[in-house]
Amino acid sequence: MLRDLGCQVTEIPFIEIRKPSSLKPLDMALKNLRDYDWLILTSVNGVEGLFERMKQRKLDKSGLSHLKIAAIGPATKRAIEEQGFKVAVTPKEYIAESVVAALQRRVKGKRVLLVRAKIARDVIPRELRKAGAEVDVVEAYETVIPDASAKRVRAVLASARKPHAITFTSSSTVKNFVSLLGLQTARSAFKKNGATDAVHAASIGPVTSATLREFGLPVDIEAEQYTMRGLVEAIVAAARARSLEKT
């Protein structure tokens, strides 16, 4: 989307998606799908991991047909629909707290299967258990730090033409960015000296922004709609605003 708008984009991954070290919990959940009332999926990667494992285990997708399905946002919803299933709940805001708000009155006494990354916030299982649900959390994938990206990030930041913005699309991307560079280097990347080559931190939403602030990093741009398109729109709006300021 950014390239379509005429931006020069350098892609450097801050996370790498891998299979979890053990798929036994997921396999057990798939074996007992009839026991669940709800399925919650919080990312496209989770959707892909779930259905890929079902394919590997030669399990019929119809085993999910009795479940009510909740998706954290539109991209996850589309991925589920592409598998032939309807999504019962997609919250207005695409964060864990909104998933809880949408479900907490509907899950009392129900069994819920949450398929997600190995490391994730515990807001959904914690709050839904408080609401009276029995929640099983299983891992469909894990995110790790791509070590090869450190050299590339340092080269970009040391170049004569620094990026106008660095995008962060999850808390994991923030944490791994800091791990790749070290905290002091990460902070210095965003120092504003009034120069035209100042680098701005662009966040996909409030959870990611909160993680940036935890590390003492700025939130120069934040998407109003917590999607990739929303992030692009926020970057465009910020660029236009800065252009107007200069005129």
How many domains does the structure of the chain reveal?
2
Same domain (yes/no): 134, 160: no
Same domain (yes/no): 33, 131: yes
| Residue ending a domain, choose from 99, 117, 144 | 144
The pLDDT of residue 243? 65
The pLDDT of residue 192? 80
Q: Structure pTM?
A: 0.72
Asked if residue 239 belongs to a domain, the reply is yes
Asked if residue 138 belongs to a domain, the reply is yes
Q: How far apart are CA 237 and CA 148, in angstroms?
A: 32
Same domain (yes/no): 120, 41: yes
Q: How far apart are CA 207 and CA 72, in angstroms?
A: 14
The pLDDT of residue 120? 74
| Residue ending a domain, choose from 144, 174, 199 | 144
Asked if residue 12 belongs to a domain, the reply is no
Which string of DSSP letters, residue by residue, matches 129-177? Answer: HHTT-EEEEEEEEEEE--TTHHHHHHHHHHSSS--SEEEE-SHHHHHHH
Asked if residue 45 belongs to a domain, the reply is yes
The pLDDT of residue 195? 55
Same domain (yes/no): 135, 151: no
Structural contact between residues 39 and 113, judged by C-beta atoms closer than 8 angstroms? yes
Range of the domain at 227: 146-246
Same domain (yes/no): 25, 66: yes
Q: How far apart are CA 117 and CA 16, in angstroms?
A: 12
Asked if residue 6 belongs to a domain, the reply is no
Bridge partner residues of 31 (DSSP): none
Structural contact between residues 220 and 201, judged by C-beta atoms closer than 8 angstroms? yes
Structural contact between residues 48 and 80, judged by C-beta atoms closer than 8 angstroms? no
Same domain (yes/no): 43, 54: yes
- CATH number of the domain at 114, please: 3.40.50.10090
Neighbours of 147 (CB within 10 A): 10
Asked if residue 36 belongs to a domain, the reply is yes
Q: How far apart are CA 11 and CA 152, in angstroms?
A: 10
Structural contact between residues 43 and 76, judged by C-beta atoms closer than 8 angstroms? yes
The pLDDT of residue 241? 85
Q: How far apart are CA 222 and CA 237, in angstroms?
A: 10
Same domain (yes/no): 111, 209: no
Same domain (yes/no): 28, 140: yes
Same domain (yes/no): 129, 152: no
Asked if residue 116 belongs to a domain, the reply is yes
Q: What is the pLDDT along the chain (247 residues), one digit of tens a residue?
A: 999 999 999 999 999 988 998 999 999 999 999 999 999 999 999 999 999 999 999 999 999 999 999 999 899 999 999 999 999 999 988 778 889 999 999 999 999 999 998 877 788 999 999 999 999 999 999 888 998 999 999 999 998 888 999 999 999 999 999 999 999 999 999 988 765 568 999 999 999 999 999 999 999 999 999 889 999 999 999 988 876 554 3
Helix intervals (H) in the chain: 24-31, 44-56, 74-82, 96-103, 123-130, 149-158, 171-181, 183-188, 206-214, 228-246
Asked if residue 10 belongs to a domain, the reply is no
Same domain (yes/no): 192, 109: no
The pLDDT of residue 218? 96
Show Cβ contacts of residue 219 under 8 Å, excluding neighbours closer than 6 positions: 201, 203, 209, 212, 213
The pLDDT of residue 52? 96
Same domain (yes/no): 105, 22: yes
pLDDT tens per residue, range 180-233: 999 999 999 998 876 556 899 999 999 999 999 999 999 999 999 988 999 999
pLDDT tens per residue, range 23-36: 999 999 999 999 99
The pLDDT of residue 246? 45
Same domain (yes/no): 31, 138: yes
The pLDDT of residue 234? 96
How buried is 22 (Cβ within 10 angstroms: 0-12 exposed, 13-18 middle, 19+ buried)?
exposed
| Residue ending a domain, choose from 127, 144, 161 | 144
